[in-house]
Amino acid sequence: NAGVTQTPKFQVLKTGQSMTLQCAQDMNHNSMYWYRQDPGMGLRLIYYSASEGTTDKGEVPNGYNVSRLNKREFSLRLESAAPSQTSVYFCASSGVGEGWETQYFGPGTRLLVL
């Protein structure tokens, strides 16, 4: 049981390049999320998916697209990377754990856009 996995762990891009961040969970959760974390700011929701086949915008969706490929996988795509997208990206899924609705986080992807 790996929980939530993310690839890659680190990535350096040049402005204008594209890339896809991959996320998978093996806990059979319906809901999955993509967050970004920037210094001095709280985690901010980019997109979420309440169930397979559905996605919705969060607080900061501009410049990103997502795909909920199946129940396990939720990918985040940057079509044309910008320096403002330099951040740490976390994927999460939610389900009942420890007796309450809990979000389980992946290890994060550190992205640097030059």
Partner 1 sequence: KNEVEQSPQNLTAQEGEFITINCSYSVGISALHWLQQHPGGGIVSLFMLSSGKKKHGRLIATINIQEKHSSLHITASHPRDSAVYICAAAYYGGSQGNLIFGKGTKLSVKP
Task: Please say which residue, 43 or 69, places its beta carbon nearer to partner 1.
Answer: 43
Is residue 66 helix, strand or coil? strand
- Residue 102 is a binding residue for partner 1 (CB under 8 A): yes
- Residue 1 is a binding residue for partner 1 (CB under 8 A): no
Per CB under 8 A, the list member of 11, 58, 69, 72 interacting with partner 1 is 58
**Amino acid, single-letter form, for residue 114:** L
| H helices, E strands: number in the chain | 0, 11
State in angstroms the smallest separation of the CB of 85 from partner 1.
18
State in angstroms the smallest separation of the CB of 39 from partner 1.
10
Q: H or E element: which one contains 6?
A: strand 4-7
- Residue 107 is a binding residue for partner 1 (CB under 8 A): yes
State in angstroms the smallest separation of the CB of 35 from partner 1.
8
Within 8 A by CB and 6+ apart from 71, the residues are 28, 29, 30, 52
